[in-house]
Amino acid sequence: MSIGSNLEVHFFESPECAKIVRWMVFVDEAINKTCVGIGGAERYPGKKTFDGIFHMRLLKEEYVGGYKFEFCATGSKTCQDIGLFDAKNGENRKRVILTDKEPYAFELVRG
């Protein structure tokens, strides 16, 4: 795989809550954010979902060795970065969202 290649992101082990384990994008009105989830549109009834492609890209030069994921919705000419959002809803958990401001940086490590 090369940087910028189209990706279909899957989990190796399926969580009990989802039969399909590939990433997809939906709008969560409760937090007013476009989120990355797992499964198909049928797992998010009544929510707006988006078809598209994920890419892995190098971050700007100031993040040496850093990478980011981005999502390009079908029919859109622009892509959005994947970032984290602290839901602060009493559960102290972060959500994976689309963002224009702060991409989540990750590093590839040889295992």
Mean pLDDT, rounded, for 78-106: 84
Looking at residue 99, its pLDDT comes to 94
Query: What's the whole-number mean pLDDT along residues 74-96?
Result: 83
Residues 6+ apart with CB under 8 A from 60: none
pLDDT number for residue 82 = 93
**What's the CATH number of domain 6-99, 1.10.645.10, 3.90.870.10, 2.80.10.50, 1.20.1280.50?**
2.80.10.50
pLDDT in tens, 27-78: 999 889 999 988 888 888 899 999 998 888 877 655 556 888 899 999 998 9
Note the residue count of the chain.
111
Helix (H) or strand (E) holding 46: none
Compute the distance between CA of residue 95 and CA of residue 77 in angstroms, rounded to an integer. Answer: 25
Q: What is the pLDDT of residue 18?
A: 58
Q: How far apart are CA 38 and CA 22, in angstroms?
A: 5
What pLDDT is recorded for position 13? Answer: 61
Kindly list the domain boundaries of the chain, sorted by start residue.
Answer: 6-99
Instruction: Supply 98's token pair.
Output: 């689309």
